[in-house]
Amino acid sequence: MREARVIFWRIKRRHIPWAIMRMGWDRLRLRREGVDFWKLLGTGSGETFTVRDANPYRWGVIMVGEDLPRLSHWDRRAIACKEFSLKPIAVNGRWAKRDPFESMAKVDSKTWDGKVAAITRARIKWRHNRKFWRSVPPVNIALHASPGLESAIGIGEAPIGLQGTFSLWDSPQAIRDFAYRSPAHQGAIEATKRIGWYSEEMFARFAVVEESGDW
């Protein structure tokens, strides 16, 4: 069965060089094992989406496909592991020039009343980096003050320019309230349309089908 899986591992300081090395080696493994879509992720606080946000103690992966591999070498070194099995509710935009979830059956947003995960990611145009960074703090403050938010972290495919967020909400209504009623978030959407600081972007909501582990 085709599934989307997101995993985050927390490691000790002594394993940071190993983690950086695995970010390269695991690309070869996932490509060799034929995973339909995958992205290895660094993480951070998401406060400014600059290098100073980076958290070298937490790393992650998103995989989409059938018979997804278990990256047990990460499990063996992790002091904590948080894992999610997701089904898409709504996907807008592209990731690496494709919709990796298009062949998955969508969950009906009108009937799903469980937890919701949201993934945002964007390729930021270099000439707009400074404008983007200045816009992030108000949205981040509003996000973390939102009722129903359980957790939110920054995710990145590269130190600069390929950033996003992973957030977990206790209900579909909670994320809708943030998306459509937060003045800071609405202001960021308007600025995105006006300035056009992304060369590619995606916003996706998912039903959390299974959740295990801890942060």
Tokens coding 98: 């494709």
Contact of 155 with 43, CB cutoff 8 Å:
yes
Of 77-81, 101-105, 146-150, 178-182, the poorest mean pLDDT is in: 178-182
For residue 37, how many other CB atoms are within 10 A of its CB? 16
Q: Quick one: fold of 3-213?
A: Alpha-Beta Plaits (3.30.70)
Tokens coding 149: 């938010």
132: exposed, middle or buried (Cβ count in 10 Å: 0-12, 13-18, 19+): buried
The Cα 132–Cα 198 span in angstroms is: 9
Q: Between residues 124 and 204, which one has the greater pLDDT?
A: 204
> Tell me: the pLDDT tens digits for 26-42?
999 999 998 999 999 99
> Tell me: the pLDDT tens digits for 8-65?
999 999 999 999 999 999 999 999 998 999 999 999 876 655 567 789 999 999 999 9
Q: pLDDT value at position 103?
A: 87
The Cα 56–Cα 20 span in angstroms is: 9
User: What is the domain partition of the chain in residue ranges?
Assistant: 3-213
84: exposed, middle or buried (Cβ count in 10 Å: 0-12, 13-18, 19+): buried
pTM of the model: 0.88
Pinpoint the alpha helices (H) of 60-202: 72-77, 129-144, 172-181, 183-195
Q: DSSP secondary-structure letter at 78? A: -
